[in-house]
Chains A and B, each alone.
Chain A
Amino acid sequence: MADAEAGKKIFIQKCAQCHTVEKGGKHKTGPNLWGLFGRKTGQAPGFSYTEANKSKGIIWGEQTLMEYLENPKKYIPGTKMIFAGLKKKSEREDLIEYLKRATSS
C-alpha cells in the first residue's frame, strides 16, 4: 500500500534540491511539478527542457513515472536530469503517491 508520508520524505531528501511541487512554485535546476499528472513530457510552462525530454511524447501517470523513476536516463536518453533512479519499487510507489497529491488540487 503506497505511503504518501514516506513519499514526502523521499521527495524532500532526493528531489527537492532541484524541484518544487506547489502551484506557482519556482523552477530550479528542474521544473516545478504542479500539474504533472496527465500532462505530456516537457510541458511545464517556462522551463527550458532538453529536446530529448520534450519529444519523449508520453503522458505522465503512475505507470510512466514508475518506469521513469527507476532509471531516468534510460527512459529519456539525453535528459539533463542527474538522478540515478530509485531501485526499490516500494519507494517509487510511495513517491508517486505523494506526487499525485502534492502536484494537484
Chain B
Amino acid sequence: MEKREATMSSWNPERKQSLVGWDSHLSRIFFLLLLFVVSAQGVTPNPEACLVSSSVNGSSISCQPPAQIPKSLPADTIFLAVEFFNLTQLPADFLQGVPNLQELHLSSNRLENLSPKFLLPVPQLTVLDLTHNSLTRLPPGLFRVSAALCTLVLKENQLKFLEASWLHGLKALQHLDLSENQLQSLPPGLLENFTDLLTLDLSNNQLQTLPPDLLRGPLNLERLRLEGNRLQVLGERLLAPQPKLRYLFLNDNRLASVAAGAFRGLQKLDMLDLSNNLLTTVPTGLWTSLGKAARNLKDGFDISSNPWICDQNLADLYLWLVANEDKMFFRNHTRCAGPEALKGQMLLAVAESH
C-alpha cells in the first residue's frame, strides 16, 4: 500500500523538493535519501495535511485539524474520516462523487442537523460514526438508501427522544449505539424491522421504563447494554423475545424489583451485570435458568453494590451463589446491608454458612 499526504487544494502526489543551485550529484543523493525516508515505515505524517492512503479497493482519507477539509475527494474513496473539527453543518453535496464510500467517520464535530439527502450519494455505506456531535433529531428519510449500513453510532449526542421512523431503511443494521444521550423513553416497535441486529447500546441515558416489546424484531440479539439509566423494574416480558442473548448489562440503574421469570428463556447468557442497583431481595426461581446448571454465564456475573437484606428470602440465591461462586465478580463488594446482625458481611460468606 502506498501512503501519500495531500493538501486541501489538490490530490496530486507530493511535490518534489526544489533543488535549484545544488550540485547535480549531491542533489541526486539527496533526492534518493528523501525518497527513502518518505517511503519508510513510521514516518510522522504532516499534521497540516489529510492522511491519504491507497489500496486496490480504493482511497482512504482521514482529516483532523489543523488539516483543511478537502473540497473534493478521489472518486474511489471508500473510507472518509473528518473528525475533531467544529463543523455545525456539513457542506452541501459533501458526499457527491464518492459513490463507493463504505465508512464515514464524523465523530467529535458539532453537527446539529443533517440534511435528509446527505446519504443519498452513498448507498454502499456500511459504517456511520457520529459519536460526539450535537444532534437532537434525525431528518425523515435520512437512511432511505442505507440498506447496506451495518453499524450506526450516535453515541454522545443530544437526543432527548427518538422516533422509530428516523431509522427506516436500515435493513441490514447489526450494531446500533445510542448511548450517552438524554433519552427518557423509547417508542414502541423501535427494533421491529432490525432482524439482523446483534448489539444494542442504550447505556447512559435517562430511561426510566422500557416498552415491554422493545426487543421484538431482531432474530439474534447478542449484546444489550442498559447500564447507567434510571430503570426501577425488570419485568417478565422484556427479555422473552431474545432467548439467545449473550451479554446483559443492567448495572448502575435503580432496580429494586426483578420479576421471577425475567431470565427464564435465556439459554446462552455469558455475562449478567446487576451491580450498583437497589436490590434488597430477589424472587425464588430467578436463577433457575442461569449458571452451571444451564451451562451459561461463562464470563461471569456481578451482583455487587446492592443493599442485600440477608434473610430467608435469599435462600434460593445462597444455593445458587455457592454453586456458581467461581464466576462471581467483586465478592468483596457484594455485602449485606441488613438485617442488623449481618450488616457488612460478605453475601458469599453468609451463603456458604447457610
Contacts and interface: CB of A to CB of B under 8 A. Distances in A.
A2 interface: no
A55 B43 CA distance: 7
B132 A51 contact: no
Interface stretch (B6-14, B151-159, B182-190, B338-346): B151-159
Given A51-B3, A55-B3, A82-B129, A9 B329 contact: yes
Contacts of A73: 64, 81, 83-84, 105, 107-108
A48 B20 CA distance: 42
20 contacts: A6-B330, A9-B300, A12-B271, A12-B299, A17-B175, A50-B53, A50-B60, A51-B1, A51-B3, A51-B60, A57-B41, A73-B64, A73-B84, A73-B105, A73-B108, A77-B62, A77-B64, A78-B53, A84-B132, A84-B155
A17 B103 contact: no
A78 B42 CA distance: 14
Contacts of B107: 73, 82, 84
Nearest to B175: A17
Contacts, number: 77
A74 to B, nearest CB: 8
B41 A77 contact: no
Interface of B: 1, 3, 41-43, 45, 51, 53, 55, 60, 62, 64, 79, 81, 83-84, 103, 105, 107-108, 127, 129, 131-132, 151, 153, 155-156, 175, 199, 223, 225, 227, 247, 249, 271, 273, 299-300, 302, 329-330
Q: Interface SS of chain B: helix, strand, loop or mixed?
A: strand
Contact of A55 (B41, B131, B153, B249): B41
Given A9-B273, A73-B84, A74-B84, 17 more contacts: A9-B300, A9-B329, A12-B271, A17-B175, A50-B79, A51-B53, A51-B60, A55-B41, A55-B42, A55-B43, A57-B41, A73-B83, A77-B81, A78-B60, A82-B129, A82-B151, A84-B131
Given A13-B227, A17-B223, A57-B42, A80 B103 contact: yes
Nearest to B53: A51
A33 to B, nearest CB: 16
Nearest to B44: A57
A71 B288 CA distance: 42
B4 to A, nearest CB: 10
Interface string A1-25: 0000110110011001100000000
B153 A13 contact: no
B330 A5 contact: yes
A25 B244 CA distance: 21
B225 A13 contact: yes
Contact of A80 (B42, B79, B84, B153): B79
Nearest to A48: B55
Interface string A40-75: 000000000011101111000000000000000110
A87 B299 CA distance: 25
Contacts of A6: 330
A16 B156 CA distance: 20
Contacts of B129: 82
Contacts of A54: 41
A22 to B, nearest CB: 12
Contacts of A74: 64, 84
Interface centre among A51, A54, A80 (most CB of B within 10 A): A51
Contacts of B249: 13
A41 to B, nearest CB: 9
Contacts of A5: 329-330
B81 A78 contact: yes
